[in-house]
Amino acid sequence: MSGPWWSRPRRLIALAAGAAVIGTVLAAGVSRPAHRTAEPPTEMRAARGAPAGPGFAGVLSEAGRPAGDDAPPVAELPLAGVPLRAGPGAPEARPVFALADHPLLARHAGLARISCELPPWHDEPRGAEAFLRAALDCLDDSWSVTLRNAGLPFRPPRLELRAEGARSACPDRLPGPGDRPFYCPADESIVVPAEALRPLGAGSRRGAQLAALGHEYGHHVQQLVGMLRAYSDARSTAGWSSERGQEQSRRLDLQAWCFAGMFLGTNHGRGDIDGRTWEEAASAVRSGGDRPGEPRLLGSPESVWGWWRWGSDTGDTWECNSWYAAAAHVG
């Protein structure tokens, strides 16, 4: 069975060096970290006794903590081999259709540190939209620097708050329960169904919302850099509904959780991403994963938690290489 239509090549948007971040830029601006050697992830792995190689390997220590300033700096040279220069005739940033050997995962690279200021969460459409748009601005500010420095495309995702019972513009959405936010690759949008506001909003603050939004943003990163197309090709080759094809789906979703953890772990303690927000996000993530009786497309709750926590503890794209990990660690 062939993959979904959204995996076909799309028109690429040229990206010049030094272009302003698209979307609303927070007053605090983007804080560019000073250059330093990115060794902490290796030390953390050695301390936990995990084997060499990138990615969560089934070992977590409760002594771990969000990466914060120990996260690797943003890479200063293009990972994709595309020289970045402004002006007429400058090469356009382009995606790379690869998985385990994708250049974004080839070396230690972190996210831009930002001071994320967020309005209070309200579980009604207007208040939810204000919060989600502010959170998306934060994610844009953090990820855009990394992708542009990597020589990879960046575009902010669209946000769609869908009324109850309304159909999305995405006939081939990524797998996931229908009552949760999801990513639509067809128009690069994060869709938040009305049904998702109630279970996420009841009794919660911003941490649960950031956990869910950061995960869908992780899929947007995969779309921008070319991983989603490579995933679609790999899953089609394996058999879309086969056991191996479902494993490819889990690798995709667990990497999105790792990317979400990177954002919260790197920016822990800055602006409104305080310790309580991180703890609330962690609590929400623990309930993620496949539901009983459904196909195994998302990963077990233990795997979801492990990859999110690993991304938070390391803040490192190299460590989010779920395509490299052994099958036992994407269960």
Measured distance CA(184)–CA(154) in Å, rounded? 16
Beta bridge partners of 193: 162
In this prediction, residue 290 carries a pLDDT of 83
Cα end-to-end distance, the chain, whole Å: 23
In this prediction, residue 124 carries a pLDDT of 80
Let me know: does 303 contact 330? Beta carbons within 8 Å.
yes
Angle in degrees, CA 233, 287, 186, rounded to 5? 30
Angle, helices 206-225/275-285, rounded to nearest 10 degrees: 70
Residue 16 predicted with pLDDT over 60? no
Measured distance CA(312)–CA(71) in Å, rounded? 9
Question: Which token pair is 18?
Answer: 């030094």
- Residue-wise pLDDT tens digits, 69-125: 999 999 888 888 665 555 566 667 899 999 999 999 998 999 999 999 999 888 788
In this prediction, residue 303 carries a pLDDT of 95
Overall pTM > 0.85: no
Residue 19 predicted with pLDDT over 60? no
In this prediction, residue 168 carries a pLDDT of 62
- Residue-wise pLDDT tens digits, 138-184: 999 999 999 999 999 999 999 998 766 566 667 666 655 566 789 99
In this prediction, residue 35 carries a pLDDT of 30
Over range 253-257, report the average pLDDT: 98
Measured distance CA(1)–CA(235) in Å, rounded? 9
Let me know: does 66 contact 282? Beta carbons within 8 Å.
no
